[in-house]
Amino acid sequence: MKMTIGEIAKAIHANTDNFDNALLTKAVTGVCFDSRKIQQGQLFIPLVSENDGHDYIDNAIAGGAAATLWANDHSDRLPLKIPALMVEDTLKAFQELSKYYLDKINPRVIAITGSNGKTTTKDMVAAILSSTFHVTKTHDNFNNEIGVPYTILQMESNTEFLVVEMGMDRPGQLDFLSKLAEPDVGLITMIGEAHIEFFGTRDKIADAKMEITHGIPDDGIFVYDGDEPLLRQRAKNVDLRQLTFGRQSANDVYATESKDGQYSTQFHVNLWPDIDFNIPMMGDYNVNNALAAISIGQIFRIHPETMAKELAKFDLTKNRTQWLTGSKGEKILSDVYNSNPTAAKEVLNAFKATETSGRRIAVLGDMLELGTQSKGMHASLAEAIDPAVISVVYLIGTDMAALYDRLKPVYAPENLHYYRADQLDKLIVDLEADLSPDDEVMLKASHGLHLENVVAKLMK
């Protein structure tokens, strides 16, 4: 992003009567809402949530902020060292600015949501499109009311495609994000149990996911998992061109066969049976993510051999079924960014199929936002845990106690370990002492359990 203060003010309808021409023509080179990460020449966005971003304006100025948004109700402590653009609500102004910039750059927009797989699919779509176009994609998990505007404002002026991930944890959220981005293509990867605490049923999750279609223009396209009856049913009420992917032959794009390896997965697609597709990830479930990405590539006429080439080397966001090597030489399967029952079972089943001369060790943490069904859903993971294949299990978190109780009859006490959520340090010590060079250890939990700290410690 590169705009003048005057252009920004006009976009968000901020009053500049007291600004001289020199200030109005001053260049701004980006935006930042974290004063610790501000860079020279950026616009500071002081958001108000648990902490009030206005309290950190001195840090932003010291970091090189060129200007700041400023809420009207904070006018009693207006900063004097940099221009302040007065607005009613800094978040709404931030979103308004992103909408203006999106219209200015005018890329084609691909919006992706789903209970599982949206980040991996986003990375795959971006890789395929980058073979031919200038692409900007969502960084990390910037996928909500703050993250989507931030992603938009990260675009360079030559961006031709914006691949934006959209998350949700309540009804209406995707409606807002879709209408903000007005995607040319909206994609739903699948419907699972993520956030079921807030929705109650998968039906209601599907209703909320369908909101991604609300901002798609009449000439846009809706792409979705055709194997999911909840989506097929709701798609009948969507008056848009549609494209489906999945495993069933009724889909437009489907896998004719697949072979899951330890570090990669091979498959074929009905449209081009002679082309070998190979993704650098374990887990047959990731084939569906690739089929979704291939559907997008097909829409924009990327050659299938080019898609195969790009998928074979695409850049995966870290901590998604990522193989690493620990300090003892043990193999680590890190999938600690998030978790829900469907995803956890898929990773466990893929982990059980790996080849190893040592032990398979599973480290599982709480899956959050499952509501009143949480304990039962945690206990259900026992279906994917076989003591003959997974030798040792480490569990951490309040609701993982339900899985611990389910596994106690089939595991020897020395091979089944349970920790409270505040005992992460003890888990690390015990796990480090237990590991041998030939072992494989898999880690999966919601991000709130911070198993990434376990991964970091094992790799030191």
120 among the known binding-site residues? yes
Let me know: does 24 contact 11? Beta carbons within 8 Å: no
Q: Is 116 annotated as a binding residue?
A: yes
Compute the distance between CA of residue 190 and CA of residue 227 in angstroms, rounded to an integer.
9
> What is the spatial distance between Cα 357 and Cα 141, in angstroms, rounded to a whole number?
36
Mapped onto helix, strand or coil, the DSSP state of residue 316 is coil
126: alpha, beta or left? (left if phi > 0; alpha if psi -120 to 50): alpha
Q: Which residues are within 8 A (CB) of 35 and not within 5 positions of it... i.e. 6 or more apart?
A: 44, 53, 56, 57, 59, 60, 63
Three-state DSSP class for 441?
Answer: strand
Alpha-carbon distances, residue 255 vs 224, 244, 250, 284 (angstroms) = 15, 12, 11, 11
State the alpha helices, DSSP H only, in 131-243. 147-153, 173-181, 196-199, 202-209, 229-235
CB count within 10 Å of CB 75 equals 10
115 is in an annotated binding site: yes
Q: Which residues contact 201 (CB under 8 A, 6 or more apart)?
A: none
Q: Is 232 exposed, middle or buried (0-12, 13-18, 19+ CB in 10 A)?
A: middle
Query: Could you tell me which of 29, 54, 53 has the C-alpha nearest to residue 40?
Result: 29
N-terminal to C-terminal alpha carbon distance within the chain? 38
Q: How far is CA 376 from CA 33, 365, 368, 381, 421, in A?
A: 39, 15, 13, 9, 18
> Which parts of 260-399 fold into alpha helices (H)?
286-299, 304-311, 341-352, 374-379
What's the length of the chain? 460
Cβ atoms of residues 298 and 288 within 8 Å: no
Task: Tell me phi and psi for residue 295, to 5 degrees.
Answer: -60, -40
117 carries a ligand binding annotation: yes
For residue 74, the 8-state DSSP code is G
| Contact of 116 with 287, CB cutoff 8 Å | no
- Binding-site residue ranges: 114-120
- Binding-site residue ranges for ATP: 114-120
